[in-house]
Amino acid sequence: MKTLKLRTKDKHAKQLNILAGAVNFVWNYVNELSFKHLKRTGKFFSAYDLATYTKGASEYLNLHSQTLQAISEVHAKSRKQFKKAKLNWRTNNPKAKRRSLGWIPFKKTAIKHLATRQSGKKSLKSTIQLSLAKGKKLTIDLWDSYNLALYSINTLELVQDNRGHWYACITVKDFPKVKGGDGKVGVDLGCKDAATSSQGDKLTIKQTQKWAKKLTIAQRANHKKRVKAIHAKIKNTRQDLIHKFTTSLIKDNALIVVGKLQSSSFTSSKLAKSVYDAGWFEMKRQLDY
């Protein structure tokens, strides 16, 4: 099972915020109900028990019946995991001290992949249809860097980041097969170049250094939104560069040997910033996958 994270178009944000509010309402309801039942009987409600109390609320909240079930299941699982009688309340009120980031779960029967199409020379866009209450549908467009047409979709969760952007986290069952070559390659890790292959290919990241000046200006101006945007840009660009480098290695080689270096060995030295920016762990993780 693999999870793909795809960015949704910003035009859907208003509608998704409304649905996230309905999800929070259900969460708070089952949270309070479960706590009262525990105080009265000394026993925890299971996800199955909670589903009985949310039955029929679908049309009033504009949520699919299995979305209600998914909320109850996640609540019961989280309560057991954290060993708590009562979990935190969820709210998407921007004035709240502890605002919850948006979250909307969907199960397989409520998801339909409509199309994946070319957008520009290299990028793809996919359209997903999600079932809400009886007869109601939500159609969302995604920036697709994986080509969803190659996968079998299992579940989907719409999640929000701290900048207000929405993403679709899609779990898939089938992986497209990568046909590797029969070559062999060694990869040397470093700071100037994050990685250098024995074939002469180099991975140069240095995103922290590139954005350092703009980041400093934004921090001194206390422009929090700009600071978050720059950090996100650095992270996303780094992952994209590593992804392209590792993909090219795997397509051409059957054996890949990576030099043994631990990031933790350099974090207390002057090279710490360069080491973090190089993303050695992420490169090894992607190659392993």
pLDDT tens digit string along 155-167? 999 999 988 899 9
Whether the pLDDT of residue 179 is over 60: the answer is no
Give me the mean pLDDT over the 138-147 stretch.
91
Q: Which domain range does residue 196 map to?
A: 183-288
Domain membership of residue 177 (yes or no) is no
Domain membership of residue 178 (yes or no) is no
Q: What does the pLDDT look like over 83-127, one tens digit per residue?
A: 888 999 999 887 888 889 999 999 999 999 999 998 777 788 999
Which residue would you say has higher pLDDT here, 170 or 256? 170
Lowest average pLDDT, out of 152-161, 199-208, 210-219, goes to 199-208
pLDDT at 241: 87
pLDDT at 114: 94
Are 191 and 157 in a shared domain?
no
Q: What does the pLDDT look like over 240-288, one tens digit per residue?
A: 888 888 888 888 888 888 877 666 666 566 666 677 777 777 888 888 8
pLDDT at 251: 83
pLDDT at 287: 83
pLDDT at 113: 94
Lowest average pLDDT, out of 10-14, 146-150, 154-158, goes to 146-150
Are 189 and 279 in a shared domain?
yes
Are 20 and 96 in a shared domain?
yes
pLDDT at 174: 62
Mean per-residue pLDDT of the chain: 87
Are 98 and 145 in a shared domain?
no
Q: What does the pLDDT look like over 47-74, one tens digit per residue?
A: 888 988 998 899 899 999 999 999 999 9
pLDDT at 189: 82
pLDDT at 268: 60
- pTM equals 0.71
Cβ contact 71:111 at 8 Å: no
Give me the mean pLDDT over the 125-148 stretch.
92
Domain membership of residue 37 (yes or no) is yes
Domain membership of residue 138 (yes or no) is yes
**In total, how many domains does the chain have?**
3
Domain membership of residue 193 (yes or no) is yes
Are 160 and 251 in a shared domain?
no
Of 81, 102, 123, which marks where a domain is finished? Answer: 102
Q: What region, left, alpha or beta, does residue 280 occupy, with left being phi > 0 and alpha being psi -120 to 50 degrees?
A: alpha
Domain membership of residue 200 (yes or no) is yes
**Long-range contacts of the stretch 87-90 (C-beta < 8 A, 24+):** 87/31, 89/28, 89/31, 90/23, 90/24, 90/27, 90/28
Strand partners, 127: 115, 141
Domain membership of residue 132 (yes or no) is yes
